[in-house]
Amino acid sequence: MLMFGQFPARGEDLVREYRQYIGGEWVGSETLFDDLDPYRGTVMARVPAGTRADAARAVDAAAAAFPAWAELPPAEKQALFLRAADVVERRRAEIVALLAEETGCAGGFAGFQVLTATRLLRQAANWGYLPVGEVIRSDTPGTFAMALRRPLGVVAGISPWNGAHVLAWRTVVNPLAFGNTAVLKPSEEAPVSAGLLIPEIMEEAGFPPGVINVVTHAPGEAVPIADEFFDRPEVRCINFTGSSATGRILAERAGRALKRCVLELGGYNPLIVLADADVDYAVEAAAFAAFFHSGQICMSARKVLVERPVYHEFMDKLVKRAAALAVGDPADDGTVIGPLINAAALDRVSGEVREAVDAGATLLAGGDADGRCYRPTILTDVPAGARIHSEETFGPVLVAQPVDDADEAVAIANSTRYGLSAGLITGDNQRGFALARRIDSGVVHVNDQTVADEPQLPLGGMKDSGWGRSGPASMHDFTEIQWITTREGTGHFPI
């Protein structure tokens, strides 16, 4: 049996077995479940099918660790985060290989995940030094009034499989940097890269027991773990990255439990190409935005809106570009399009494309699968009734639509229920900036595409794409303000 950090080469006949991490201990479980390699369909690891009792112990451990962690001086927290970044960097090749094997992630996106994780840890190392409050003038003579931030307590993180490693770090690092402790529940599709790898690295970096805890669960068994999070008073916030459908369930539950929740959800992200754009650049931007990580990124471009004078040239070039993207084993150098995460995802994506074509859409590229990999697909003339017209399809599928002018593009961009990321390609940055201000989206990149993440920048959605912003801006979500006054002398009370 191999455990923790021992990654046999592919093909070696060894299945790793993992444990959960609770209160600084690696704890086993009566039942394990199979963690599958999405490209091969083989078992890559066996992972604890954790229970509500495990979640309860994890919350206990996080609550016990909270007072000391909250009080730990910033310099000591800083040293821990910096050491963790060094460990991630040292284990880069192993993490990239794991992401391919567990999540079908090709090298380009895996490298991006590792790089962004190290940058996040190094940025967050300094967040302990951000100002924690304000002095506000009081109208009461002799009163000195302050608004001081303090951590919430235990933050429960629920992480997804798609950007497994970087999003798991984001789920816990932001809360921890502001003095909270954490329980992480990773996706059942990526319990190692989005879960158990995190405390393994943090333990090596020297984080105290209980500060981070990870509970895993069998497929479809998230709810008992979430029940514990919602029922426990020590858990003050749910930090979730995932689909809008699940986000809505969690927000409803958080409302009933009067807990905070931070939600980074889905998007139907538009890329607008104006007539004055450099068409070759716009094609590169669109191919990347739509097909990087097989379109399984919340910020992936779902619709490209192109001004008519350049529409045909742009589409001809984009169709050729899409057809040339390398499809196959994510562990091979040069692969861009790896497998979708599981058979259900492949069925869903191909079903939605078929539905659109049956309803009258024109297929310009792709539309079929190579094994578990869905080929880069471009559709046009998609009727409004087809799901793909305005709902996120979590795969390499781009809808193209010509527009008469920038106003029409902005109106279409704003017509969905989502508002996560948008890109707008134009030769005129000034005009692009003015248009960006009219797009209802948490992120707009002018003269760039939709997929970007830098840990210090406030990524987050409007409308059904979520609540809250990542980075230092998350201090608002992961701390609360206390109004404290001190009074010189004695006051007069009018009764």
Footprint on this chain of ligand ADP (rule: CB under 6 A): 158-160, 187-188, 222-223, 226, 242-243, 246, 249
**Nearest residue (CB) to ligand ADP, 393 versus 479:** 393
Alpha-carbon gap, residue 468 to 311, rounded angstroms: 36
In angstroms, give the least distance from the CB of 193 to ligand ADP.
Answer: 13
Alpha-carbon gap, residue 252 to 235, rounded angstroms: 16
In angstroms, give the least distance from the CB of 187 to ligand ADP.
Answer: 4
Burial class (CB in 10 A: 0-12, 13-18, 19+), 255: exposed
**Nearest residue (CB) to ligand ADP, 221 versus 480:** 221
The answer for 463, left when phi > 0, alpha when psi is -120 to 50, beta otherwise, is left
**Nearest residue (CB) to ligand ADP, 29 versus 123:** 29
In angstroms, give the least distance from the CB of 159 to ligand ADP.
Answer: 6
Question: Which structure tokens are listed for 347?
Answer: 């069925």
| Secondary structure of residue 209 in the 3-state scheme | coil
| Secondary structure of residue 22 in the 3-state scheme | strand
**Long-range contacts of residues 66-74, Cβ cutoff 8 Å, at least 24 apart:** 66/151, 66/153, 66/154, 66/180, 66/181, 66/234, 68/208, 69/176, 69/179, 69/180, 69/181, 69/208, 69/210, 69/211, 70/150, 70/151, 70/179, 70/180, 73/128, 74/128, 74/129
In angstroms, give the least distance from the CB of 184 to ligand ADP.
Answer: 10
**Nearest residue (CB) to ligand ADP, 255 versus 385:** 255
- Report which residue's Cβ sits closest to ligand ADP: 242
**Nearest residue (CB) to ligand ADP, 310 versus 341:** 341
Burial class (CB in 10 A: 0-12, 13-18, 19+), 137: exposed
In angstroms, give the least distance from the CB of 226 to ligand ADP.
Answer: 4
Whose CA is closest to 156, among 88, 206, 227? 227
Alpha-carbon gap, residue 341 to 273, rounded angstroms: 30
**Nearest residue (CB) to ligand ADP, 34 versus 280:** 34
In angstroms, give the least distance from the CB of 223 to ligand ADP.
Answer: 5
For 160, residues 6+ apart whose C-beta sits below 8 A from its C-beta are 167, 187, 190, 194, 241, 242
Alpha-carbon gap, residue 293 to 286, rounded angstroms: 13
What's the sign of the alpha-carbon dihedral 458, 459, 463, 464? negative
In angstroms, give the least distance from the CB of 458 to ligand ADP.
Answer: 22
Catalytically annotated residues: 264, 298
In angstroms, give the least distance from the CB of 34 to ligand ADP.
Answer: 16
CB 159 within 8 A of CB 194: yes
**Nearest residue (CB) to ligand ADP, 187 versus 300:** 187
Question: Which structure tokens are listed for 152?
Answer: 């919430």
Element (H, E) at 475: helix 475-478
**Nearest residue (CB) to ligand ADP, 120 versus 263:** 263
**Nearest residue (CB) to ligand ADP, 159 versus 474:** 159
Element (H, E) at 247: helix 244-257
Alpha-carbon gap, residue 261 to 240, rounded angstroms: 7
CB 280 within 8 A of CB 247: no
In angstroms, give the least distance from the CB of 38 to ligand ADP.
Answer: 13
